[in-house]
Structure 1
Amino acid sequence: MILVTGSVLAREDSFDEVCRLSLEHVRRSRNEPGCLSHAVHVDCEDPLRLVFVEQWADRPSLMAHFAVPASREFVRALQPLAGATTIELYDATRLDTL
């Protein structure tokens, strides 16, 4: 499984639009092949920061997601509305017990 974490720091005057775009992106992405989960959350310590957590079945599914025109458009739409962004990819294996 591929785990993706990311964040975007919205400007105060653009938070509502960044949130709307992010929810639209998450909801669309959940229907893509190989998407196990895709969510966006507001950071409790910085309410202008949105945090994304995604799980993908495999790397080809994630690469297909990045190639979807709507995914690229989402990134382009955020650029004028937000400051710092991050994305990190992890190859993860589920542990059944501690």
Structure 2
Amino acid sequence: MTDPVVLVATMVAKPGQEELVEKTLAAALPKVHAEPGCLRYALHRKAGTTGEFVMIEKWASQEALGAHMKGAAMREVGAALAQALAGPPDMVFLDAISAGDPDAGAV
């Protein structure tokens, strides 16, 4: 059995592009939630900002994440946001540390 993959992706909108970025990412959520292996795909905004978006993701496997990254939803997001982001997404992969309650202590 493979371990789930947890990823935090941060995207910063160019000034004036905040609404486009938010709407595009929000519209992709139902499509991504239906992808095989998607365990969590949750959009957030950094508190106190209008243009810094954080996606908290959990995938059943590296293979599921790889398929997601190459999938139709991400192609659509990439095309829509190609000129709207200040730079490429900052992607941070996390390794869980098993401690405490397994449900409360892990994403």
User: What TM-score results when the alignment is normalised by the length of structure 1?
Assistant: 0.85
Cα distance 1:83–1:20, how it changes in 2: closer, same or farther (>3 A)? same
Task: Identify the match of residue 8 of structure 1 among 8, 11, 16.
Answer: 11
| More strand per residue | 1
SS in 1 for 2:69: helix
- Asked if the contact 2:18/2:50 (under 8 Å) is kept, the reply is no
Q: Gaps (5+ residues) in structure 2? A: 102-107
The CA deviation string for residues 45-97 of structure 1, in whole angstroms up to 9 with x for no partner, is: 4321011100001111111111112212212321211203312233x346251
Bigger Rg over Cα: 2
Identity of aligned residues (%): 22
Task: Identify the match of residue 24 of structure 2 among 4, 7, 21.
Answer: 21
The CA deviation string for residues 16-73 of structure 1, in whole angstroms up to 9 with x for no partner, is: 1110100112221111111101011110143210111000011111111111122122
* 1:77 aligned residue: 80
- Asked if the contact 2:32/2:73 (under 8 Å) is kept, the reply is no
Task: Identify the match of residue 42 of structure 2 among 28, 36, 39.
Answer: 39
Q: How does 1:38-77 map to 2 (within 5 A)?
A: 38-77=41-80
One-letter amino acid of the counterpart of residue 86, structure 1: D
SS in 1 for 2:50: coil
* Aligned residues between the structures: 97
Supply the distance in 2 between the matched residues of 1:22 and 1:82 (Cα, whole angstroms). Answer: 12
Q: Compute the RMSD of aligned alpha carbons.
A: 1.8
Supply the distance in 2 between the matched residues of 1:21 and 1:82 (Cα, whole angstroms). Answer: 12
